[in-house]
Amino acid sequence: MSAHISSSLTADEAAFVAYVNEVARDKIAPRADELDQTGEFPWDNIRLLNELGLNGAFIPEEYGGAPLSYSCYLNLVEAVARACPSTAITWATTFHAVSPIVTFGTEKQKLKYLPKIASGGIAAVAITESTGGSDARAMLSRLTPDGEGWRLNGSKVFITNGDVADMLLVFAKWDSDADRRHELTCVLLDGNADGLEIVRRESKLGHRASSTVELRFDNVRIEADQVLGQAGYGFEILLAMLNKSRPSVAAEAIGIAQAAFDECCDYINQRRQFGQRILDFQGVQFMLADMATKLVTARAWLVEVGRMVDAGRADFDVEASILKVAASDAAMSIATNAVQLQGGYGYITGSKVERLFRDAKLTQIWEGANELHRARIGKSFLA
């Protein structure tokens, strides 16, 4: 597998990404199929990423990190996803949860959580409920005033890392009289908090080694200093978080697409039918050309969005949606074609492209279904 590294990185960042690509290829990729089939959480892979210092990539130096650019982070997500999407989603979710603490947290909150994450901790984000996925306003989890703090009650579903997290970022409604813009509050919760119950771990189509659980909050005590930002500003925090997490979903999708493309190319260069290689057929060449075009186009837009974030641009939500749709659709299309071109071999459990086909589907669903993003993109052109 050849490494694809953004030209926007510094020389040191490019060298680091290249090294992570090599480690992921040699030490993470060989176990990806096994982990997918057993559903075992990738503890060894997470420890390896921490040995490489990847958690420090999104933590400021004063809290034990060694921060890298956002573009570099996206390249790292792609590198890990090419080797093992389950490991990539586990690691990237920690970034999704920690980024808001870096931006909105108090000094006390940063000192409590950031050094722990920098040293290898795992984090989770709890948004989705059975009453609504992409519709955050449909959530029913509630914060009820109790003295100087609150009590948290409710449940969350499809929570990545929910049963292994050292800390959780939880969104809940807090005031029935608040206007729609201020009806959510974001709170920080320790993974071992009293009243936090792991209801069950889900069995999934893909990303099977990634832990996805249902959580229940039973009268969980929330102190005033556990509120991130301030009460009623959950939507602001949520949108800021999603704008940065969606490009990383795209980076993961591109990693999956690249892995499927590489595996497919190897196969159709070697497999022979009717006395010639499969790739010698012009129809197959056309399919491969379309796959390559989608992959290169999505990666080019990933680079552009990374540059926007690193330049300090705040209003890139539409660009992030375009990227998420383009990359995830490319991943699903490329993985589907990879299965088709391998025929029966590609359809068998244990085939790499079969696993990537299943993994690719999630990228079209999580962090906002692609239909939601298409609606957002379309509305942006209203005069």
Please enumerate in sequence order all residues whose Cβ is within 8 A of that of 63, keeping only pairs 6 or more positions apart, or say none: 110, 111, 114, 115, 118
Query: Does CATH place domain 11-122 in 3.40.190.10?
Result: no
Q: Which CATH architecture has domain 236-379?
A: Up-down Bundle (1.20)
Is residue 172 predicted with pLDDT exceeding 80? Answer: yes
Residue range 230-247, pLDDT digits in tens:
999 999 999 999 999 999
> Could you tell me the pLDDT band of residue 136, with boundaries at 50, 70 and 90?
confident
Q: Which residue has the higher pLDDT, 279 or 207?
A: 207
211 versus 176: the higher-pLDDT residue is: 211
Residues labelled as active-site residues? 367
Q: Is the pLDDT of residue 115 over 50?
A: yes
pLDDT in tens, 39-75: 999 999 999 999 999 999 989 999 999 999 999 999 9
Task: Give the per-residue pLDDT at 1.
Answer: 42
Which stretches does DSSP call E strand in 139-295?
Answer: 142-146, 149-160, 167-173, 184-190, 196-201, 212-222, 272-273, 276-277
pLDDT number for residue 179: 75
Of the candidates 163, 161, 167, 236, the one whose C-alpha atom is nearest the C-alpha of residue 200 is 163
- Answer yes or no: are the C-beta atoms of 213 and 196 closer than 8 Å: no
* CATH architecture for residues 124-232: Beta Barrel (2.40)
- Boundaries of every domain in the chain: 11-122, 124-232, 236-379
pTM of the model: 0.94
